[in-house]
Structure 1
Amino acid sequence: MTVTAVPSRTEPGRSRFTARNALILMALMWSAQLLGLVGLLSGNVQAEIAVHFHTARISWFTLVTGLVGTFATPFAIKAAAMYGKKRVMVVITVLGLVGDLIAALATNYSMLLIGRGIAGCYGPIGALAYSMVRDVLPRRLIGPASGLLGGGVGLVALGGPFLSAWLVDGSGFRGALWFMAAASALSLAALVVLVPESPVREERTRIDWLGGLLLGGGLTAVVYGIGEGADWGWTSARTLLFIGGGLAAVVGFVFTESRVPHPMIPLPLLRRRPVWTMLLTTSLVGGAAYAVGTVMFLLALMPTIPGVSDGLGFSATRNALVNAPGSVLILTGAVAAGMLASRFDAWFLLAAGGLLVAGGYGLISAHHHTVPQLMLFGAVTAVGMGLVVATIPILVIQAVHPAEQALANGAQSMAQGVTQTVLSQLAFIILARDSQVVHGIRFYRDAGYSNGLLFTAGVAATGTALALILPKRRAAREL
């Protein structure tokens, strides 16, 4: 891999946050954190969408977006390295906007899923935004800017629920879908006007289409097979075909990548101990921390119907108020992680965050019937979440050399995205084991919520244990 750079538009000697640098960072932060905001909106509207469209397959409302994002990530990262990160960010934002508009105009559930699927092309934006910080800002600002970019999740967690509640309670799910389109349009305008193109380029080579299709298609087939396995039967020919065929495609990807001159993802990079340990642990802890949100939103917003549904029946506004202290603590945990990173090993901070996430949701799995219980144990998970989301970018920077950060960010984003999607799918399967369908709507019982929460808490605990026990070596790096 050959990486070249043209003279940066940003003067090396300028090491303070000028107005121009601040605007660039704000545009990148909005683009990156829009994914989290859309996730909050999606979680808040899924119960209403399930009732409106009379669908028992509401899990695909969020999962189809993650699947497409996972599939698109290796192609987007490779194209960005050769043709420019800003150019690719603009293209995938346009695709995201088109998908948002289709979803907002949808007259049936199938059209809604098509729109959300196209919007999934926006998925790689976070990985590209983090690597753009290194490319377009002065060297001395890279550390603080990366911390602010990661800490932006706290701002989303703080303001997002109230924005979501205002939209959902005031305008229904249509209002939330139209806001997604407006937010994507704002992101597009900010990227075009405020963000310069990255000066870093790889040599233009042929894109490894076969490798990308094997990896993205294989992972998509596995997740789809897992999602349909409960209905098809785990030993049915269709289930085994999708899961087995998907795994075979991933094996084929490994075989192909080791033999092509310009691989989609260089396998030697993934074989390094600092890299593969980072990918494994962050995808498990981060994926579980985000996947559990699907269970929590359904628990809070599905109605209470004796003998049928054990949801808490909250409005979006009440749910935002219940989670407000936790949102503040997510931001607090993220800021604390940035301050502690210079004193403590980032692996220790990830493990501490993972332990709090696992412990908090383990407690919520048994005690989630009153507002005080949700607020008390939710505070534990919120601090852990803040530590996790702020520490992951630091671990990526530590694992690779500067020229490899775009690839490493892409690999981490894809690994966590696949893990989150699979865990979300498995959580829905666990939920569905204690549910019933009435008038085409699936309602969940208390045991399903408890088991779904306990499952994701167990995965977070596994990732935490691996973060503590796996041997790790630091890669030589510089900011």
Structure 2
Amino acid sequence: MCAIHKACTMHIAHAAAVRSRPHRSQEHAQMSVPRNGVRQGRPVVMVLALAGVTAATMQTLVTPLLADLPRILDTTPANATWVITVTLLVAAVCVPITGRLGDLLGKRTMLLVCSVPLVAGSVVCALSSGLAPMLVGRGLQGVGMGMVPLGVALLRDVVPVERLSSSIALVSASMGIGGGLGLPLAAAVAQYAHWRALFWGSAALALAVAVLLWLVVPAVPPAARGQRFDLLGALGLGAGLVALLLAVSKGADWGWASATTLGLAAGAVVVLLGWGVWELRTRHPLIDLRTTARPRVLLTNIASLLVGFAMYASMLVVPQLLQFPESTGFGLGQSMLAAGLWMAPGGLMMMVVSPLGGRLTDARGPKLTLVCGALVVASGYGLLQALLGTPWGLMIGLAVVSGGVGLAYGAMPALVMSAVPPGETAAANGFNTLMRSLGTSVGAAVVGVVLGQMTVTSGGVTLPSEAAFRTALLIGGALALLSALVAATIPGRRPDPSPSPAPEAGTPHSEDATARTSVR
């Protein structure tokens, strides 16, 4: 009991000291009190960022192979697109589930668990010669996407206050960094080596990440210890998301008015509404919808969805403009590898901007950082409109968009974690990551419709027109501006009352009391 009292007294004293620092915003200090007195240095942040980059790279890993997948897997082009779709579906379902399990079982434990399907999925893909095993392997890789929100949530427990904002920004932006850097690397390997080398390389990288997680990242007791896992809630959310994402991602192929698309959309609405009712009634929900409905969390998630949409518009438009033949009058005739290299500075820009976003969050709070990030994304779309005709112009515009995404992605977890108790940080970050993923999925569907409806014929082949690409860029810029407006309405935290006196010796401290102390 003496040891417990001493630890609790030290925790409260530290929280009071943080609140008294005049140079740090109250909002940031409230969010960043590490639990259990754990203090770690930069190696932990670097390992968590590498884990996020590795997981995110899996999404773009097969992009250079898309044209060859029908031949490699002996299937049709329509079936080959499932190699990408299945990863997105599994990731959307598993990210909030692994986040909640991180709160219940420990975030380090779940990070290690997520590394297993990354390694196994990569090996299965490397050994595949048909569509079915490739889909199994790609689905396993999608499970590993839970590393990003788990890593962000763990930072709250292990990183010193003075480095928390920049650390959150870097690990959160790893999703975009992995996608930006993964494409040119995958293109280079696909062009100069056998396609199986892509998956053997990803397996080796995932295994190295697992070893580093085991050696470097400390174990922190779970914040939601003693609560039960909401299995019915997980099944309901998974079924609803699969139906919704299938309708969104495959609607263009099946027909937006087809019975399959409409049936899936209607089924998604019914299942998700039923899931919401269940989550509100169960004692230990998968996602606490009452917390999610708080204006601070709700508006952050809406802004996240819009930023995800805005980001993905550029990721669809720029590669096609770079690779379309020059005979179209607006295509730039670049190879897949050259296009990836022109896009690589975007991923590097996220790495450079993320620490700057952390400093801005320290100085002015995550709300301003999110607004600035969305405005930078919008300005990048303006540059893309003006510099559409040259590779270097597209590189500059995409780099600006990516820099804005890095700022925005770094601010979102800080906003969410400042409004939820420690026992819900991983689940709340998982839900925020889900909102970003939904934004990219909806963005891909909308941009796909625009590019499919506004076409021209070049050399006997029907292609999207220049007006279609400009319209898609205009939509991306408009959504970025809308996300800035939404972010500007996020309410600030209520003033913190004066610190309560330290409890007397022997006073019990429940988990809920500790949670309230650390986020009040």
Give matches, 1:35-54, under 5 Å: 35-47=55-67, 49=69
Cα shift readout 1:217-267 (whole Å, capped 9, x = no counterpart): 112201111233233332332221100110111111111111112211112
Within the alignment, does 1:259 sit opposite 2:281 as a pair? yes
1:219 and 1:247 in contact (8 A); partners too: no
Distance 1:473 1:165, change over 3 A: same
- In structure 1, the residue matched to 2:100 is 78
Within the alignment, does 1:178 sit opposite 2:200 as a pair? yes
Shift of 1:68: 0.7
- In structure 2, the residue matched to 1:372 is 392
Give matches, 1:226-305, under 5 Å: 226-290=248-312, 292-301=314-323, 304=325
Could you tell me how far apart the structure 2 residues matched to 1:237 and 1:140 are? 55
Could you tell me how far apart the structure 2 residues matched to 1:48 and 1:271 are? 45
Shift of 1:410: 1.6
2:478 aligned to which of 458, 464, 468: 458
Query: What amino acid sits opposite 2:325 in the alignment?
Result: T
2:102 and 2:427 in contact (8 A); partners too: no
Within the alignment, does 1:213 sit opposite 2:232 as a pair? no
Q: Secondary structure in 2 aligned to 1:342?
A: helix
- In structure 2, the residue matched to 1:107 is 129
2:100 and 2:424 in contact (8 A); partners too: no
- In structure 1, the residue matched to 2:453 is 433
- In structure 2, the residue matched to 1:187 is 209
Query: What amino acid sits opposite 1:473 in the alignment?
Result: G
Query: What amino acid sits opposite 1:176 in the alignment?
Result: L
Shift of 1:388: 1.9
Cα shift readout 1:75-100 (whole Å, capped 9, x = no counterpart): 21222222222222222221122222
Could you tell me how far apart the structure 1 residues matched to 2:294 and 2:201 are? 42
1:350 aligned to which of 341, 350, 370: 370
The alignment's C-alpha RMSD in Å is 3.6
Greater Cα shift, 318-327 or 381-390 = 318-327
Distance 1:353 1:58, change over 3 A: farther
Shift of 1:13: 7.2
Q: Secondary structure in 2 aligned to 1:422?
A: helix
2:57 and 2:182 in contact (8 A); partners too: yes
- In structure 1, the residue matched to 2:491 is 472
Could you tell me how far apart the structure 1 residues matched to 2:164 and 2:287 are? 25
- In structure 1, the residue matched to 2:30 is none
Distance 1:412 1:14, change over 3 A: closer
Cα shift readout 1:418-442 (whole Å, capped 9, x = no counterpart): 222222233334333357999xx99
Shift of 1:289: 1.5
Identity of aligned residues (%): 27
2:100 and 2:426 in contact (8 A); partners too: no
Shift of 1:408: 1.9
Within the alignment, does 1:422 sit opposite 2:442 as a pair? yes
Greater Cα shift, 55-64 or 207-216 = 55-64
Within the alignment, does 1:116 sit opposite 2:110 as a pair? no
Within the alignment, does 1:383 sit opposite 2:403 as a pair? yes
Distance 1:43 1:366, change over 3 A: farther
Decide which structure has the larger Cα Rg and report it.
Answer: 2
Q: Secondary structure in 2 aligned to 1:199?
A: coil
Could you tell me how far apart the structure 1 residues matched to 2:310 and 2:379 are? 12
- In structure 1, the residue matched to 2:415 is 395
Shift of 1:299: 3.7
- In structure 2, the residue matched to 1:333 is 353
Could you tell me how far apart the structure 1 residues matched to 2:364 and 2:138 are? 40
Shift of 1:371: 1.5
Distance 1:378 1:27, change over 3 A: closer
- In structure 1, the residue matched to 2:425 is 405
Shift of 1:29: 1.8
Give matches, 1:306-321, under 5 Å: 312-321=332-341
Within the alignment, does 1:62 sit opposite 2:81 as a pair? no
Shift of 1:366: 6.8
- In structure 2, the residue matched to 1:93 is 115
Could you tell me how far apart the structure 1 residues matched to 2:327 and 2:162 are? 59
- In structure 2, the residue matched to 1:26 is 46
Could you tell me how far apart the structure 2 residues matched to 1:122 and 1:351 are? 30
2:303 and 2:484 in contact (8 A); partners too: yes
Could you tell me how far apart the structure 2 residues matched to 1:208 and 1:59 are? 33
Unaligned runs of 5+ in 1: none
Could you tell me how far apart the structure 2 residues matched to 1:102 and 1:147 are? 33
Shift of 1:59: 5.0
Greater Cα shift, 404-413 or 40-49 = 40-49
Query: What amino acid sits opposite 2:425 in the alignment?
Result: Q
Greater Cα shift, 73-82 or 48-57 = 48-57
1:225 and 1:243 in contact (8 A); partners too: yes
Q: Secondary structure in 2 aligned to 1:280?
A: helix
Query: What amino acid sits opposite 1:23 in the alignment?
Result: P
Distance 1:177 1:46, change over 3 A: farther
Query: What amino acid sits opposite 1:408 in the alignment?
Result: A
Shift of 1:182: 1.9
Unaligned runs of 5+ in 2: 9-33, 497-517
Cα shift readout 1:312-359 (whole Å, capped 9, x = no counterpart): 442344224423554443333223212222333422222222122233
Greater Cα shift, 276-285 or 129-138 = 129-138
Query: What amino acid sits opposite 2:56 in the alignment?
Result: G
Greater Cα shift, 255-264 or 133-142 = 133-142
Greater Cα shift, 406-415 or 353-362 = 353-362
2:47 and 2:213 in contact (8 A); partners too: yes
2:62 and 2:186 in contact (8 A); partners too: no
Distance 1:11 1:385, change over 3 A: closer
